[in-house]
């Protein structure tokens, strides 16, 4: 089956959504970098981190197959 236009089209890259906390932006950016490095090493593939603005936008992006995985809270 065709997956044209979806995050799954390129199996070499995982698209991971992450909502940054506005309370401590610097700490969130550090956690994001650590998470990306961990995922790339553990999965052996490139990880594109997609910054979400809210829970609902992350869920919608996943439903529309624009991301493969993400944090929800």
Those residues with Cβ within 8 angstroms of residue 14's Cβ, 6 or more apart along the chain or in another chain: 39, 43, 45, 46, 47, 48, 68, 69
Q: What is the pLDDT along the chain (73 residues), one digit of tens a residue?
A: 334 444 444 468 999 998 876 677 788 888 889 999 999 999 999 999 988 778 888 889 999 999 999 887 6
Question: pTM of the prediction?
Answer: 0.71
């Amino acid at each position: 089956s065709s997956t044209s236009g979806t995050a799954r089209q390129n199996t070499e890259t995982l698209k991971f959504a992450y909502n940054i906390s506005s309370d401590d932006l610097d700490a969130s950016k550090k956690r994001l970098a650590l998470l990306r490095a961990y995922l790339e090493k553990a999965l052996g593939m490139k990880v594109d981190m997609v910054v979400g603005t809210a829970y609902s936008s992350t869920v919608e992006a996943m439903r529309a197959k624009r991301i493969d995985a993400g944090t929800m809270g």
